[in-house]
Structure 1
């Protein structure tokens, strides 16, 4: 097995060229005399490449049926994340019973109202965050919330 180097480096490429008598013309972009320039035309992009990711430039389809009846309040924009701060709420049987009574009456005024599977208490409205803002936003929120004491239910409440 020989220990020949994979690549041989010289101390300076321009010195080697000038020693060999090869000169470049000013404005030739470093081409040597007699070398043809790169073609000025570009090859066409194949259809298979152009159609590789169909529909990626369009925003997602706004189908509220796919999202529990929720409707966007602002249009989707690529790279934006709709974000809100909330506290999850574990619904008790009494709450669900009340919901069963109130929902049919409310649907006479707003027919698209539906019963949700999970409930929460919103602490903010929806805001738009760019992807690189998410982690700093979450970290700042945690820092600010760390000093707030956690709510404890009084022992006499069921």
Structure 2
């Protein structure tokens, strides 16, 4: 039996030597693997594809009236998600009555104040997350919060 290798590899020469071994005839159309065709040989992109998503390059319209009067603290950037951690608060009738009294008084000084539909207790300020960070962030937060008991909140008014 012969001790010849199963696969023969060339010596580890420079890239120029290996590239010199690739020869193409003019007009044969052969190209190296992974190389894109010259611009003259590419197909044109149809207008229907180019106009598929009109206006997506500009940021979204920032109309605070669409989100309960809230105003961005930092500009929108494509791919970023404004995130905050909070505990939802289910408002009882006593809380809403007190809120209506306070709101009526406060609106004499700041007329644009409005009552929110949903309430929460913020545990963080707004932070920016990239889309691919969201799931790991939520999973890490759930793991860390799992050992805490859910608090019962109650508003006492004297």
Partner secondary structure for residue 81 of structure 2:
strand
Q: Distance in 2 between matches of 1:129 and 1:35?
A: 36
TM-score (norm 1): 0.69
Deviation of 1:113 after TM superposition, in Å, equals 1.6
Cα–Cα, structure 1 residues 80 and 154, in superposed 2: closer, same or farther, change >3 Å? closer
Q: Are the counterparts in 2 of residues 25 and 31 from structure 1 also a CA contact under 8 Å?
A: no
- Which is worse superposed, 125-134 or 109-118? 109-118
Deviation of 1:108 after TM superposition, in Å, equals 3.0
- Which is worse superposed, 4-13 or 68-77? 4-13
- RMSD, aligned α-carbons: 8.1
Deviation of 1:127 after TM superposition, in Å, equals 0.6
Q: Are the counterparts in 1 of residues 83 and 129 from structure 2 also a CA contact under 8 Å?
A: yes
Q: Distance in 1 between matches of 2:33 and 2:154?
A: 90
Cα–Cα, structure 1 residues 42 and 36, in superposed 2: closer, same or farther, change >3 Å? closer
Number of the residue aligned with 1:12: 12
Q: Residues 121-147 of structure 1, C-alpha deviation per residue, up to 9 Å, x if partnerless?
A: 000011111111001101110111112
- Which is worse superposed, 113-122 or 20-29? 20-29
Cα–Cα, structure 1 residues 31 and 81, in superposed 2: closer, same or farther, change >3 Å? closer
Higher relative contact order (CA 8 A, sep 6+): 2
Deviation of 1:70 after TM superposition, in Å, equals 1.2
Deviation of 1:91 after TM superposition, in Å, equals 0.7
* Runs of 4+ residues over 4 Å off in structure 1: 1-23, 25-29, 31-39, 41-46, 152-158
Deviation of 1:105 after TM superposition, in Å, equals 2.1
Deviation of 1:71 after TM superposition, in Å, equals 1.1
Partner secondary structure for residue 137 of structure 2:
helix
Q: Are the counterparts in 2 of residues 24 and 33 from structure 1 also a CA contact under 8 Å?
A: no
Q: Residues 7-39 of structure 1, C-alpha deviation per residue, up to 9 Å, x if partnerless?
A: 999999999999999973499873699999966
Cα–Cα, structure 1 residues 23 and 84, in superposed 2: closer, same or farther, change >3 Å? closer
Structure 1, gaps ≥5 residues long:
none
- Which is worse superposed, 25-34 or 61-70? 25-34
Q: Are the counterparts in 1 of residues 95 and 155 from structure 2 also a CA contact under 8 Å?
A: no
Structure 2, gaps ≥5 residues long:
none
1:93 aligns with 2:90: no
